[in-house]
Structure 1
Amino acid sequence: MNYLRYVKLIGTMHVSPRSREEVIRTILEERPHAVAIELDRARFLGMERNVELTLEDSLRMGRAGLINYALAKVEEKLGETFGMAPGEEMKAAIESAKLLGIPLYLIDEDISVILSKISSAPFREKLLMALEGLSVFLPLGKAEIGDPMEEYRTMMVEFRRRYPYLYRVLVEERNEVMARNLMAIVDSLLARGIKRPKVIAVVGLGHKPGIERILNGRYFYMEK
């Protein structure tokens, strides 16, 4: 079945105000049967309680925690450049779903599983990530930014080239998890007698093409 007929993905840049506006506008205009977001339960609760990952917390979590902390700091730095804190578009989706009384689904892989996979990254990728993460703390002037979405796409290509293992676990494997969860949501709506279910899914721009390929039936996930 082509699940893409029932799912509309909004590919966002987590630090772009334009993405937040698109999320709100699309949900309010489409009024879907379900809204799905790129979060798991732990990160959802952390966002709801406004809990931030500190360096102290990261140290307690070991190497995987430190890499996750570096990634978070990179997003914060990007937020300063683009004018929006990371995750604001997810909060916008949550609030829009609440406003309209639409069921909200958390479709991302469990963060503990992701961190476990990160800890198994090759030493070269860990070292490179640590070195690049340190540069986030250096006082640098603002760079000239063109089209934010184009910049983000370029960054994703570069990330895949420099970190093939981390790209696989942070992007490709999570694409599979989120696509399967979206399929389950559609199946549930169809089983309830909704003939043309409509699901809006808010995911990072880097996840959108891969998830769409899976939902469109052009990719077959093999159980490991």
Structure 2
Amino acid sequence: MSYLRYVRVIGTMHVSPKSREEVIRTILNERPHAVAIELDRARFLAMNENRRLTLEESLRFGRRGLINYVLAKVEEKLGEEFGMKPGEEMKAAINTAQRLGVPLYLIDEDINLILSKILAAPGREKLLMALEALGIFLPVKSGEMADPMAEYRAMMVQFRRRYPYLYRVLVEERNEVMARNLISIVENLKLRGVKRPKVIAVVGLGHKPGIEHLLDRARGRGFLSPYWTEGVV
């Protein structure tokens, strides 16, 4: 049994206004039993507070804080170029789920665990990442991609070649966590008497193919993952 019968995965570009519109339109049209988003509780709460740490504040948390700050600045720069703040498509999913009274689930891996894994990266990958991060304030080419999925595939191939460890941590392992959580959501909905659950998952475009592959190959019943969060709205 393929869990793609029950789960529709929307792959978004975190800084694209079109992604926000697609999320709203799809949830309103599908009227799902559940909406799942690529966040954990810590990032969900931070996004709702709408506050980002300064560099000075981030440094108080050591290397983890610095890595988090750099990643946030990269997204901010892209958001300026594309005319949309990072996470707006996630906020759209949250608000639309609230409007419809649909349960919202947080399915991503805990950010503290992700940062711990990044800190354990081989020295070569950490050095290369640091050097490339120096260019985050350089101008970014704006405008819509002719074929976003093709562009993302090329970026993923390049990222995997340059950062094999980080690719495993940031892409493949998180795909596995999110796929397991989506299976858990489907199975729990069935246990509650929903004969054909309908779940919409909003994730980054780079995660969509991997999650769909895992959902399509899944055969056993789902299980409750430690990262799965229910009832946040």
Paired residue secondary structure (2:135) = helix
Tell me what 1:124 maps to.
124
Tell me what 1:99 maps to.
99
Amino acid at match of 1:204: G
1:15 aligns with 2:15: yes
| In structure 2, distance between residues paired with 1:143 and 1:34 | 34
| In structure 2, distance between residues paired with 1:218 and 1:194 | 20
Identity percentage of aligned residues: 75
1:178 aligns with 2:170: no
Q: Deviations over 1:162-203 (max 9, x none)?
A: 111111111110011111110110000011111110000000
CA contact (8 A) 2:82 2:142 kept: no
1:164 aligns with 2:164: yes
Q: Which blocks of at least 5 consecutive residues in structure 2 are unaligned?
A: 221-233
Paired residue secondary structure (2:177) = helix
| In structure 1, distance between residues paired with 2:122 and 2:179 | 27
Amino acid at match of 2:110: D
CA contact (8 A) 2:114 2:170 kept: yes
Task: State the TM-score, normalizing by the size of structure 1.
Answer: 0.91
Q: Deviations over 1:72-120 (max 9, x none)?
A: 2222222122221110000000000000000000000011111111110
Q: Which blocks of at least 5 consecutive residues in structure 1 are unaligned?
A: none
CA contact (8 A) 1:34 1:199 kept: yes
Paired residue secondary structure (1:207) = helix
Tell me what 1:213 maps to.
213
Q: Deviations over 1:108-148 (max 9, x none)?
A: 0011111111110111111111111111134x374666426
CA contact (8 A) 1:16 1:148 kept: no
| In structure 2, distance between residues paired with 1:219 and 1:71 | 36
CA contact (8 A) 1:67 1:126 kept: no
Task: State the TM-score, normalizing by the size of structure 2.
Answer: 0.88
Paired residue secondary structure (1:86) = coil
The number of aligned residues is 219
| Cα shift at 1:17 | 0.6
Cα RMSD, aligned residues only: 1.9
Tell me what 1:189 maps to.
189
| Cα shift at 1:58 | 2.7
| In structure 1, distance between residues paired with 2:180 and 2:143 | 39
| Cα shift at 1:218 | 6.2
